[in-house]
Structure formats: C-alpha cells, structure tokens
Amino acid sequence: MNRFIDHIENTFKGADNSHDAYLYKREVLDSMTERAKEVARSGLSDEKVIADLIKDEFSDLDAGFTGYKKKKLRSKLLKYALPIGIIAFVILTLAAYFITSGVTGAWGKTWLIIVGGVFALIIFCFILLIAKLCSMRRVFHPIARVLLVICTILISVFAFLFLHIMVPTELFVWPTLLGGVILALAGDLIFAFGTKQKLRTISFFFYMPAITALLYVMLAANGAVTWNGGWPIVLVGLAVDFAYIIYIIMSNMKYFTYKQEVEE
C-alpha cells in the first residue's frame, strides 16, 4: 500500500489540497488496492511486479481527477435538476388540467390528465430506480424486474381508462388489459436476456406460448380475427420455442464435437 501512496503523491503533485482532491486520492488508493488483490488472486505472487502493473494502469491521475470533478459536478446538477423538473412537471400537469377543463367543460373526462401525469411521474421514478438497481449486484435485479412489471401495468391501466371514457363502445376497452400483460411478459423477457439472468431460457419457453395465447384472445375479442380461425396464433409461440431449442442445440454442437475429438 505504501508503494501506491507514494505513486499517488508523486504523480499527483499538481493537484490542489481541496476536499475533492483528498476524496479522489482515497478513491484511487482503494481502486489500486482492490486491483492488486485481483491480480494476486489470478496467480501472480511477486508484489513488486504487481505494484508496477497497477501503477501503469493508474498513470494519468491528473486526467482522472478532471473526470472525477466533472462527474461530481454532474451529480450536483442532477441532484437539483431532478426535483425542479418534477415540480415543473406537476405544475404543467395541473395547468393543462384546469385549462382544458375550463375550455371544454368536460370535467368528467379531463381528470385523465391528472391520472396520466401521476402515472407518468411514477413510471419515470421507477425507470431511474431500475437503472440504479441494474448497476448494482444481481441480487437486486429481481426488484428491478418487479418495478418493470408495475410500469407496464400502469401503462395498460391508463390505456384502459382512456378508452373506457373516450371510446363509445366497450369492444376495444377490456382487451387492453391483456395487452398490458403481454407488454409485461415481453418487457420482463427482454430484461432477463439483456441482463443475462440465469433462468432466462426457461422464462422464454413459458412466456412465448403465453404471449401468443393472450394475443390471440385480444385480437379475437376485438374482432381482428375470428375465434375459430385465429387459433394458429397460439401455435406460433410453440413454433418459436421449438426454433429456439434447435438454435440452442446448434450453438452447442461445437462443444460436443470438441469433446469427441479430445476423447479420440
């Protein structure tokens, strides 16, 4: 550790003695120490060689300090910009509600503006939280998946309320809730593959038939397809599952071939 401290002090001579410089030095020292442990765990035992390797990785500390200050400045701006933006959004939503209601006189319908604003604000906050959870350890990923499902449910509920009030017929209204379930399943599946969750393949096999079955019911209920003629849509999900099984087998064939060559 003393080698790292000397390296930081010698390389970082031009830095000021501000609190930010102190925090940056501490952060660099912690990073260098952790990196040295990783290199040692990989099998390298010579401490001097490890120290030289780590010092080469952290050679330009002045440029790093500049980036550190910019990052901290962005964090401060975001800290104040976020609540100001939320307050501004609430004010604009209320103004849109009262102006629209006063002009049209449709107070029984314009309350959707308030509901939409509240849902949009909740979804925005959840998206920020999901992004934060995704940058953390995998143990927090299930929470992010639940929040993502809640976001899709809020979208489908608002669509249901909007159609229920604005569309004169109920034909296209209740199937929107099925669309919300489809959106939730698809979103969770994309999240699982995007973050490489362990059970993503199993989820795929269950989700695809469920998505196509719900899509069939939604389309048939809206009259887009007939109940008797639209059932092949369900088979599409099974066909996609079968195609994915073939893809998995073909992708792993090289490992089976390599194993046979080694045995021979």
pLDDT digits (tens, 9 = 90+) for 105-164: 888 888 999 999 999 999 999 998 888 888 777 778 888 888 988 998 898 888 888 887
Confidence (pTM): 0.61
Please tell me the predicted confidence (pLDDT) of residue 249: 82
Beta strands in 186-250 (DSSP E): none
Distant-in-sequence contacts of 87-95, Cβ < 8 A, 24+ apart: 89/117, 89/120, 89/121, 90/117, 90/121, 93/117
Contact, 112 vs 147, CB < 8 A? Answer: no
Tell me which amino acid residue 260 is: Q
Task: Write the DSSP symbol of residue 139.
Answer: G
Q: Give the least confident one: 36-45, 83-92, 100-109, 242-251.
A: 36-45
Please tell me the predicted confidence (pLDDT) of residue 94: 93
Cβ neighbours of residue 124 under 8 Å, at least 6 residues apart? Answer: none
Residue 13 has pLDDT above 80, yes or no: no
Half-sphere exposure (Cβ direction) of 141: Cα atoms closer than 13 Å: 17
The whole-angstrom separation of Cα 137 and Cα 53 is 27
Residue 258 has pLDDT above 50, yes or no: no
Contact, 171 vs 208, CB < 8 A? Answer: no
- Which of 209, 211, 208, 205 shows the shortest CA–CA distance to 180? 211
Kindly state the tokens that stand for 129.
């939280």
The whole-angstrom separation of Cα 156 and Cα 264 is 58
Could you tell me the CA-to-CA distances from 166 to 95, 152, 253 in Å, in that order? 21, 21, 55
Cβ neighbours of residue 169 under 8 Å, at least 6 residues apart? Answer: none
Q: With H, G, I as helix, E, B as strand and everything else as coil, classify residue 39.
A: helix
Task: Write the DSSP symbol of residue 228.
Answer: T
**What is the per-residue pLDDT across 74-99, written as a single tens digit (0 to 9) for each?**
777 777 788 888 899 999 999 999 99
Task: Write the DSSP symbol of residue 136.
Answer: S
Overall average pLDDT of the 45-73 stretch? 72
Please tell me the predicted confidence (pLDDT) of residue 9: 67
Cβ neighbours of residue 35 under 8 Å, at least 6 residues apart? Answer: 54, 57
- Which of 57, 62, 71, 55 shows the shortest CA–CA distance to 14? 62
**What is the per-residue pLDDT across 178-218, written as a single tens digit (0 to 9) for each?**
888 888 888 888 888 888 877 888 888 888 989 999 888 88
Tell me which amino acid residue 130 is: I
**What is the per-residue pLDDT across 220-244, written as a single tens digit (0 to 9) for each?**
877 778 888 888 888 888 898 898 8
Kindly state the tokens that stand for 216.
């069939």
Q: Give the least confident one: 51-55, 162-166, 169-173, 187-191.
A: 169-173
Kindly state the tokens that stand for 194.
């995007």
